[in-house]
Structure 1
Amino acid sequence: MKQIPLYFLLLTNLILFSQSNFNSESYKITLEDLETNTFKKDSTANAIIVYKYGNSFVDRSDYDLRTEVKQKIKILNKEGFNKATVTIHLYNNGNKKERVEQIIATTYNLEDGNITTTRLLKKDIFREKYDENHSFVKFTLPNIKEGSIITYSYKLISPFMFNYKGWDFQSDIPTLYNEYRTSIPANWHYNIKLVGDKKLTINTSEVKKNCLEYRGGSAGCVNSVYAMKDIPAFIEEDYMTSKSNYLARVEYELQTFKSFDGSVYNYAKTWKTVDHEFKTDGDVGRQLRKPINIKDILPLEIINENDLLKKAKAIYSYVQENYTWNGDYNIFKDVSIKDLIKNKSGNVSSINILLHNLLKESNINVKPVLLSTRENGFATKIFPVISEFNYLITQVTINDEIYYLDATDSYLNFDDIPFRCLNGYGRLMDFKNGSEWVDIKPSKASNVFYKVELHLNENETISGSITSKRTGYHALNYKKSYYQNSDAYVEKLENKFPYLDISDFEVTSDGVTSLDFKESYRIDYNYEDTGDYIYLNPFFVKFFNENPFKLQERSYPIDFGYKDTYFYLFKFHLDDDTYTMVESPKDKNIALPNNSGRITFSTKVLGDFINIMLKISFNKAIYEAEYYPYLKEFMSKIVDIQTNSLILLKKK
């Protein structure tokens, strides 16, 4: 540990950075870096990336891709200590390996008026193997305290020029300045993609001649500088797809390589090329082309069905009921219809290709569709990247109607696909006419309906019934919960309402593949006796227990996956003349911009009946980020209505 007098760092930096809390455009440490322990722009931040720098170029001696990385981070509190642990991921393929060199890491603290430094020791750098093709180098900076500044730098050497180093500009903590420099020889041509909605502060490129030489030949380089300033933290919240869709970063996809002898190698493919490769592929393509004898698999009553829609539904149900998904998303490997039929279990491709082939052999128009799931991120539309797909479903066309099918889930209805597949679009693999993008959207609405009917009895007890109906994805989740363990489901329901006694519970829907989930049960309400008054909250069931939107602002869409509606009807009957209603909730009618959602809440008294109605409509499956403050307030109103809508009854 070394002590450095404060004036040593102050002399060169005090004037330059006196107008800024942090020295955010330099790797150097200043006094203000250490003295500043708050971040006004984001009071929730536990740490800040003050400065991040990368520089990627091709080495003139061995033609490896080298990337220099530097980072300076401010630790604001103990919750930010985890930023002192750094993991560097490395890739290897056979004899070719990425490696990291010259790791230098230092912790700076302000102690008794002096800056102390603590350096990372080599013995505290660990290298571990993850799998056959991946390993990582890991280290934790020493002597971390609240207010510390940490810096670390290293050099990454890669022999894989096809995989030019991408760069993240955004993190889960705020970033003040982030710069990435690249030097790409003209031999390599990449598709360059900027991901996310953040704009570059600096975006410049220039050509430098003769930057690379090989056996008497030479090539120029395109030298680029990309930088962003004041990048907010990316905080994950409910109702979103993969964060990889939105994190600000730059990515590279090798398109062509031209060697010094003039030979040109094409790496980026057109969809026409991909279609041909997919069709002739020895794994997925071969299984799709493989003929199948439906008489060896399907019952005669299905084979003999003449109505194509009924036949398609029967084939779909048969595959659902007889084959189990093993949970594997690896759609391009280990695909075997033969093994699936033998073992009754297989991956996504095996199950849905079996479904595809059975439909095809039954003279039903069917095609495979490649997807990237919500957790996997969006598939690139600009150019084909086949590795970005991790799921396969089927498209069926009958009487000009289009249906999307996935037989991996025995609870799904015909023309439903799992929620994980609701990621906007997929690639329809039409081997005759060429593939095309298709929109993937739910075919049916998803709704929740509750009806609560209560009576105030002569003995001043309150009893009645609750009936509910769910459709679409709301029904799917409840069907799984109930039919997998009905006893546990009922027990959970009883524990959910400690002030209710539940009896005569009944499910009235038609089983696991029913289009809806309907249940009913009787209740006895154990209210608090306050003498002459009864306070009654009509919302025994709450659609939202709390507001899921808590961020100050959100820069990415609110993706519910599907449109839905919630409806709650409460009917209260005063059986005698003992009590009268003296206070009721106020009516509300609240709309989202462009009529994209609405809350309707009303209370009406008709004779001895008190009727309360709440309807919540979300008219869009996906809301742009601009809707966030409105949705946040919208949800707050819903929670408030469900929590604070009280009926006050008074003895006559």
Structure 2
Amino acid sequence: MKKMTLVLVFIFSLNIYSQSDFNSKDYAVAYNDLQNNTYEKDSTANALVIYEYGNSYVEQQDFELKTEIKRKIKILNKEGFNKANMTIYLYNNGSTKETVKNIIATTYNLVDNKISTTKLDKSNIFEDKYDENRTLIKFTLPNIKEGSVITYSYTLSSPFMFNYKGWSFQEDVPKLYSEYNTSIPGNWHYNIKLVGGKKLSTNESVLKNNCLDGGRGAYADCTVSIYAMENIPAFIEEDYMTTKNDYLARIEYELNTFQGFDGTVKPYAKTWETVDKELKTDQNIGRQLIKSVDTDVLLSSNILEETDTLKKAKLIYSFIQENYTWNEEYQIFKDVSVKDLIKNKSGNVSSINILLHNLLQDSGIDVNPVLLSTRNNGLATKIFPVISEFNYLIVKTTINNKTYLLDATDKYLSFGEIPFRCLTEYARVLDFKNGSDWMDIELDNTSTVQYRVDLNLDDKQHISGSLLAKKTGYHALNSRKDYYPNKEAYIKKIHDKNPYKEISNHQVLSEGETSSDFIESYDVEYESTESGDNIYLNPFLIKFFNENPFKLQERTYPIDFGYKDSYFYALKLNFSDAYTILEKPKDLVLSIPNNKGQLFFSSVAIGNSIMISFKINFKEAIYQPEYYPYLKEFMSKIVDIQTNSLILIKKK
């Protein structure tokens, strides 16, 4: 009972700040805590956690898990007042429930340079039933002002040792010091996971002998640990990320086994070998994957008679897309029925893609089901199986030594594409014969956007011409999903984006709803902007980015675009001898370090024409946080080029 597994998963590492003048050493409120009203490391912070402390241990008397919590918070401005509103979640399972006691909360203010305190009255602590399994304990600290310091402490008691109390080191405001102490008897063997990639400033563990008396001379030793972090930046959500739970710095526990004082061992955590066996016989997964499908009745003769394997797979895929509708439900372990799908023509993710799997398999095509966790659901744990973390099922097939990932829930996907929601880093390929395994989700192709614009400026300062656009990959998918359901609305959107331009003769030149590209063209006319004899012209009829999406001072988590992409814009402007170019935009070449991306912008005047070329390459789908300052500057230049690159033309 002295064994304990500690698995620390570091996703990425960051630099840490130095300490401030606040008292982050302990729970006591110092004069400086009240006097200091700014946090120099983050001028945008509304509040600051100066000190927080947690201590979890098993109580000898009732063998329940006790967790003592203390927090000291500085309220920097009115927007930080919400930190004075506290909610404690208590779980219950019928007659067994968690409880909280010893709630003590105090507000500190400076009044005439003296420390004034206001304590929370116990009558202002409220209990609210959230649902049948959760109760909320709520209270608000009194007399909150800008500059206040609040402290509160309480003790949680939980009979649910399978759910050892985790600890969040990071939240939406910065923290100076966060410490978590644990004492875990050897009876309980946990898998421990550190998430979020921030380094611990303290990571210590010692063995304490005979910490828990089991009676009749039986004792357990405890592993006593201290985990601490310092100067933790606030986590602020921004574009181009998966769920924040992938990156919030925290420590989590999963019970692996429990060993009683009588020597009996009860396993809780599972191995992938065990999970594979369970899934093989599961009525929603394994049994559905072996459901026989009458292909002779279901599939048309042209599909059945197709001899080319790839063509046949594409025909089967199209058949599923065209005949079955996704009901927007993600369930993969509930209400999965191939039979009901065929009958009702509608079903959840697993039902649709398992039918696809079964038809491909019955046609002699190499195929496997794949479990994944979508971007909004968070990355699945790799170090041990947590099957509840998966919420989606797709299909993997290998044809002529090439692997394709398939999802038939979206009728606008082309063969080999999966929805953007599925672009996570990895997934689990199920193989009930040889054992399941992890696979990386890596896209070979870059999604592209290309615009070619030809314009003519006549002697009356009227501009007319044409635009040709070609998109591939996820850019094409987004356009197909916008265009085909409502073509009139799509064209109206183009007009709305160009209120001072006349748009006509819009055409879509690509093959159809599942084409691998999206090609469109239209004509454009508008009047130039003039000032005296000078004409000012912004060459960008289309802007790739209207504003810089990156606005944080610091970003502590990856920039996840989901896929590699590139943008290209080319303009040719022709004009008569009635005009001469006075000024053209300056050329610019800019790179992201380590050749992770490039920007090329050039303008060339030849005779009675000027040509503008603008190209952007993002060579990575995911950039680590250290690239954030460069991406921020990169995006800033892109927006500036598209906004301020004016051509100045003078009428002779």
State the TM-score, normalized to the length of structure 2. 0.94
In structure 2, what is the equivalent of residue 548 of structure 1? 549
In structure 2, what is the equivalent of residue 538 of structure 1? 539
Write the letter of the residue equivalent to 1:301.
N
Write out per-residue CA displacement over residues 379-398 of structure 1, whole angstroms, 9 at most, x where no aligned residue.
Answer: 11111111111111110111
In structure 1, what is the equivalent of residue 8 of structure 2? none
In structure 2, what is the equivalent of residue 383 of structure 1? 384
Distance 1:636 1:630 in 2: 10
Change (3 A) 1:564 1:226: same
User: Which segments of 5 or more consecutive residues in structure 1 lack a partner in the other structure?
Assistant: 1-18
Distance 1:348 1:124 in 2: 47
In structure 2, what is the equivalent of residue 309 of structure 1? 310
In structure 1, what is the equivalent of residue 55 of structure 2? 55
8 Å Cα contact 2:546-2:639 kept in structure 1? yes
- Identity of counterpart residues, as a percentage? 64
2:183 is equivalent to residue 183 of structure 1: yes
Distance 1:623 1:542 in 2: 23
Distance 1:98 1:303 in 2: 60
1:627 deviates by 1.6
8 Å Cα contact 2:461-2:528 kept in structure 1? no
Change (3 A) 1:285 1:528: same
Distance 2:137 2:346 in 1: 38
SS state of the match for residue 602, structure 1? strand
In structure 2, what is the equivalent of residue 525 of structure 1? 526
SS state of the match for residue 531, structure 2? coil
Write the letter of the residue equivalent to 1:488.
A
Write the letter of the residue equivalent to 1:498.
P
Q: List structure 1 segments (4+ residues) > 6 angstroms apart after TM superposition.
A: none
Change (3 A) 1:560 1:79: same
1:489 deviates by 2.0
Which structure has more relative contact order (CA 8 Å, sep 6+)? It is 2
Write the letter of the residue equivalent to 1:165.
K
1:572 deviates by 0.3
Distance 1:246 1:583 in 2: 48
8 Å Cα contact 2:461-2:527 kept in structure 1? no
8 Å Cα contact 2:577-2:608 kept in structure 1? no
Change (3 A) 1:297 1:102: farther
In structure 1, what is the equivalent of residue 226 of structure 2? 225
8 Å Cα contact 2:75-2:148 kept in structure 1? yes
Distance 1:119 1:318 in 2: 68
Change (3 A) 1:355 1:96: farther
1:422 deviates by 0.8
Distance 2:67 2:25 in 1: 19
Matches within 5 A, 1:344-493: 344-493=345-494
Matches within 5 A, 1:318-329: 318-329=319-330
Between stretches 236-245 and 367-376, larger displacement belongs to 236-245
8 Å Cα contact 2:357-2:395 kept in structure 1? yes
8 Å Cα contact 1:499-1:527 kept in structure 2? no
Write the letter of the residue equivalent to 1:55.
N
2:608 is equivalent to residue 639 of structure 1: no
SS state of the match for residue 198, structure 1? coil
1:112 deviates by 3.2
Distance 1:330 1:614 in 2: 44
The alignment's C-alpha RMSD in Å is: 1.7
Change (3 A) 1:226 1:358: same
Write out per-residue CA displacement over residues 213-251 of structure 1, whole angstroms, 9 at most, x where no aligned residue.
Answer: 223221111111111111111122221222222211111
Distance 1:563 1:577 in 2: 43
Write the letter of the residue equivalent to 1:640.
D
1:425 deviates by 0.7
1:157 deviates by 1.8
Matches within 5 A, 1:141-160: 141-160=141-160
Change (3 A) 1:140 1:348: farther
8 Å Cα contact 1:202-1:225 kept in structure 2? yes
Between stretches 85-94 and 240-249, larger displacement belongs to 85-94
In structure 2, what is the equivalent of residue 209 of structure 1? 209
Write the letter of the residue equivalent to 2:627.
Y
In structure 1, what is the equivalent of residue 86 of structure 2? 86
1:537 deviates by 0.8
Distance 1:103 1:351 in 2: 51
8 Å Cα contact 1:162-1:253 kept in structure 2? yes
Distance 2:483 2:134 in 1: 41
8 Å Cα contact 2:462-2:526 kept in structure 1? yes
Distance 2:232 2:175 in 1: 5
SS state of the match for residue 245, structure 2? helix
Distance 2:620 2:630 in 1: 14
Change (3 A) 1:79 1:500: same
SS state of the match for residue 301, structure 1? helix
Distance 1:119 1:58 in 2: 30
In structure 2, what is the equivalent of residue 9 of structure 1? none
2:112 is equivalent to residue 116 of structure 1: no
Write the letter of the residue equivalent to 2:481.
K
2:572 is equivalent to residue 571 of structure 1: yes
Distance 1:372 1:52 in 2: 32
Change (3 A) 1:535 1:354: same
Write the letter of the residue equivalent to 1:288.
L
Distance 1:20 1:348 in 2: 51
1:370 deviates by 0.8
Distance 1:371 1:100 in 2: 37
Between stretches 178-187 and 338-347, larger displacement belongs to 338-347
SS state of the match for residue 484, structure 2? helix
User: Which segments of 5 or more consecutive residues in structure 2 lack a partner in the other structure?
Assistant: 1-18
In structure 1, what is the equivalent of residue 501 of structure 2? 500
SS state of the match for residue 636, structure 2? helix
Write out per-residue CA displacement over residues 596-642 of structure 1, whole angstroms, 9 at most, x where no aligned residue.
Answer: 21111111122222111001111111122222222122112111211
Change (3 A) 1:139 1:542: same
Write out per-residue CA displacement over residues 380-429 of structure 1, whole angstroms, 9 at most, x where no aligned residue.
Answer: 11111111111111101112111100111111111000111111110111
Change (3 A) 1:98 1:290: farther
Distance 2:204 2:113 in 1: 42
1:438 deviates by 0.6
Change (3 A) 1:158 1:299: farther
Distance 1:181 1:406 in 2: 45
2:244 is equivalent to residue 236 of structure 1: no
Distance 2:248 2:460 in 1: 62
Write out per-residue CA displacement over residues 13-46 of structure 1, whole angstroms, 9 at most, x where no aligned residue.
Answer: xxxxxx9622212111122111111111111111
Distance 1:642 1:403 in 2: 37
In structure 2, what is the equivalent of residue 39 of structure 1? 39
Distance 2:352 2:90 in 1: 34
1:53 deviates by 0.9
8 Å Cα contact 2:75-2:147 kept in structure 1? yes
Distance 2:641 2:72 in 1: 47
Write the letter of the residue equivalent to 2:164.
Y
1:496 deviates by 1.3
SS state of the match for residue 318, structure 1? helix
In structure 1, what is the equivalent of residue 283 of structure 2? 282
Write the letter of the residue equivalent to 2:318.
S
8 Å Cα contact 1:415-1:443 kept in structure 2? no
In structure 1, what is the equivalent of residue 9 of structure 2? none
Change (3 A) 1:20 1:556: closer
Change (3 A) 1:538 1:349: same
1:468 deviates by 1.0
1:77 deviates by 0.5
Write out per-residue CA displacement over residues 97-133 of structure 1, whole angstroms, 9 at most, x where no aligned residue.
Answer: 2232332222222233443333333443343344443
Change (3 A) 1:650 1:329: same
8 Å Cα contact 2:196-2:246 kept in structure 1? yes
SS state of the match for residue 529, structure 1? strand
Q: What is the aligned length?
A: 633
Distance 1:207 1:70 in 2: 25
SS state of the match for residue 484, structure 1? coil
Change (3 A) 1:85 1:327: farther
In structure 1, what is the equivalent of residue 170 of structure 2? 170
Change (3 A) 1:448 1:300: same
